Amino acid sequence: MQDDAAKLRGGDMNWDDIRYAVALYREGSIAAVARRFRVDKTTVSRRLKAIEGQLGSRLFERHQGRWTASVAGQAILARALDIEEQIASLVRLSETAASEIAGIVRITALDFVARDFLLPGLGSLLAAFPALDIELVTSEQSLSLARREADIALRFARPQDGNLVIRRLAAIPFGIYRSRHLPSSENSWVAYDHNLTELPESRWLAEHQPQATVRFRNNSLNSLLDAARLGLGKAILPVYMADRHPELQPCQNTGIVLERDLWLVIHPESRHTPKIRAVSDWIVDCFERGPGQQGE
């Protein structure tokens, strides 16, 4: 294993091929890697064969339809993960030295946060900085700041990593909503699946509706919204998100049932980068204005 890992230090390694191997290590699926890099599955397979041919050993084994690292692959991919973060760190350091607010800033946020808080003021940001480009990734997954999958993250969960730079943006209110076509006497619910029992929404439902009949479960907030809109049951949803849909109505006499803090998260090496600082200041301003407000 040491010999295999050492080969990564050779001058003939193609980092692009290694990136595909690292992605498969995380995703476990060639189809998922193809979607991530926007290529076909044949390209992914070819890249993997290339890196395995250079190393002279198989990096992956397929078990029950999922690709997992082989014994040799575990040592090699562990080194590749370190290299990936080191490259990302070098890029961040070089950007910190820049004086111009220019280039791409990648933001990740939940769909309703992006739509209700960020998009209305995006025009003013781009007008103020013509050389700046924004990539806004609406995802419920926590993209890695260390690997530069995102430069700025807006998250409900407060990061436990003490090295990250965090700032509380707002308390997001949640209410109980149902379809206007769902009878008021109906007490069926849609809720997060059993892997997400620690979320405040799941805890509230368990505490206040212990006998609730949950007709549909999912791990996606957007899917729960759609299920409620289709009349499958009541749902605990962000007020700003649910109020955009006329087919939904708040359940009477419930009001705001909980609030969740939303956090702005930045890698510490990026905090003084001019473009990151400009965009993070703009995000704070968006939340001070409130949802749906156009920037000046």
- Measured CA to CA, the distance from residue 137 to residue 144 in angstroms comes to 12
The predicted structure's pLDDT at residue 14: 67
As a whole number, the mean pLDDT across the chain is 85
Which helix (H) or strand (E) segment holds residue 189: the answer is: strand 188-192
Which residue has 């006329």 as its token pair?
246
Could you report the per-residue pLDDT of 36-51, keeping only the tens digit for each? Answer: 788 888 888 888 888 8
Q: Does the domain made of 2-96 have the CATH classification 3.40.50.2300?
A: no
Cβ contacts of residue 294 below 8 Å, gap of 6+?
120, 121, 123, 124
pLDDT range class, residue 91, cuts 50, 70, 90: low
Ranges in the chain annotated CATH 3.40.190.290: 101-296
Residue 167 has pLDDT above 80, yes or no: yes
Q: CATH top-level class for 101-296?
A: alpha beta
Ranges in the chain annotated CATH 1.10.10.10: 2-96
Exposed (0-12), middle (13-18) or buried (19+): which is 75, by Cβ within 10 Å?
A: buried
Token pair for 160: 């436990």
Of the given ranges (120-129, 201-210, 264-273), which has the lowest mean pLDDT?
264-273
Token pair for 173: 């209110």
Alpha helices (runs of H) in 118-176, residue ranges in sequence order: 119-128
Could you report the per-residue pLDDT of 110-126, keeping only the tens digit for each? Answer: 988 999 899 999 999 99
Could you report the per-residue pLDDT of 116-162, keeping only the tens digit for each? Answer: 899 999 999 999 999 999 999 887 777 778 777 889 999 998 877 66
Higher pLDDT, 28 or 99: 28
Can you give the pTM of this predicted structure? 0.69
Residue 269 DSSP code: G
Token pair for 162: 């003490």
